[in-house]
Structure 1
Amino acid sequence: MKLGNDTARRPQLIIFCGLPGSGKTTLARQLEQEIGAFRLNIDEWVAALGVDFWDDEFRHRLDRRLYEYGLKLLELGQSIILEDGTWTRAERDELREVARKLGATIEIHYFDLSFDELWRRLALRNATGAPDTVPITKEILEKCWRRFERPNKAELTQFDSSIIHT
């Protein structure tokens, strides 16, 4: 992966919007290789640091720190991928506003899968014990499903580009 300032193009902020099991990490890893963007994933950091996945206070502090780090990378001209789901409209609006101020282009990938498909994928992932992943029960997925603010067409048009994955 090549880091650095590429003055021939503007840095790109790629935001992933989706629930657990939707395929965010799989696609983010592909894009990381294809376009040389720096990928930020909280779950992988938590796993690498050996911290409890459900320590909300630590996750919040780490999230803020990685966000600041990502903004610094954008400021330096490095494209980044934020793959942690951006579940709320306010979160996506803030990211878009800050990235525009930094001169970055903003692309959103919205992962729009049914509850049943998400649960099918998570059950398989839980059974295999994939590394750097949070084990998600059906009850946790139900809570996530209720909290998730899905972007509508009007919101998606506010990004430089939007891709919907079904």
Structure 2
Amino acid sequence: MDSRGNSGQGPLLILFCGLPGSGKTTIARQRARETGAIRFSTDEWMADLGVDFFDHIRDGLQARLDQLSKDLLERGQSVILEDGTWKREERERLRRLASELGAATEIHYFDIAIDELWRRLEIRNASPTFGTVPITRELLEECRLRLERPDDAELSLFHRTVVHR
């Protein structure tokens, strides 16, 4: 693999779809090492800026990071968008954009049971690391209700799909 992460065939956009505690950051860091892709995590940027994770600037920051990732893809650099991409429309928009820019697409879908997610989050909440959002059980349930799970038809649109269970 070259620095674009795609055996010299152009840039690669790697998306993650999953709830908090599902393992997105761990796998994103691993894929960044394997591919040379630039990894974006809005939570880490918020922490770096010293801003509350739920501050209203999050949407503006997310829009700016989306533009930066687009600029990198246009220049042939592979990109990892670690944020959970919970909405089908968002995943489709990003997949189409990558296609228009000549980038291959990869999606990681984290299909983890809610009780397992909560078990992991309790451990994470007890010893938080930099850039991790504290998640309550109530917030996890709200997130679960907002997640639009990708079906097989959607997953088949990506060049590569990895489902984590």
The TM-score bracket by the shorter chain reads over 0.9
Work out the number of aligned pairs and report it: 163
Q: Which runs of 5+ in 1 are unaligned?
A: none
Aligned residues of 2:43 and 2:53 also touching (Cα < 8 A): yes
Aligned residues of 1:7 and 1:77 also touching (Cα < 8 A): no
CA distance in 2, matches of 1:70, 1:37: 10
Q: Which residue of 1 aligns with 2:8?
A: 8
Give the AA of the match of 1:105: A
Aligned residues of 2:12 and 2:106 also touching (Cα < 8 A): yes
CA distance in 2, matches of 1:46, 1:62: 8
| Correspondences of 1:135-146 after superposition (within 5 Å) | 135-146=134-145
Give the share of equivalent positions with the same residue, in percent: 56
Q: Which residue of 2 aligns with 1:37?
A: 37
Give the AA of the match of 1:63: Q
| Correspondences of 1:20-31 after superposition (within 5 Å) | 20-31=20-31
Give the AA of the match of 2:51: V
Aligned residues of 2:125 and 2:135 also touching (Cα < 8 A): yes
Aligned residues of 2:72 and 2:78 also touching (Cα < 8 A): yes
**Alpha-carbon shift at residue 8 of structure 1 (Å):** 3.0
Aligned residues of 2:3 and 2:35 also touching (Cα < 8 A): no
Q: 1:46 to 1:3 in 2, by over 3 A?
A: farther
CA distance in 2, matches of 1:64, 1:117: 31
CA distance in 1, matches of 2:112, 2:77: 30
The question of 1:98 aligning with 2:92 is answered no
CA distance in 1, matches of 2:70, 2:163: 24
Q: Which residue of 2 aligns with 1:119?
A: 118
CA distance in 1, matches of 2:57, 2:7: 36
Aligned residues of 1:37 and 1:81 also touching (Cα < 8 A): yes
Aligned residues of 1:11 and 1:74 also touching (Cα < 8 A): yes
Q: 1:137 to 1:159 in 2, by over 3 A?
A: same
Give the AA of the match of 1:44: E
Q: Which residue of 1 aligns with 2:52?
A: 52
Q: TM-score w.r.t. structure 1 length?
A: 0.95
Q: Deviating runs (4+, > 4 A) in structure 1? A: none
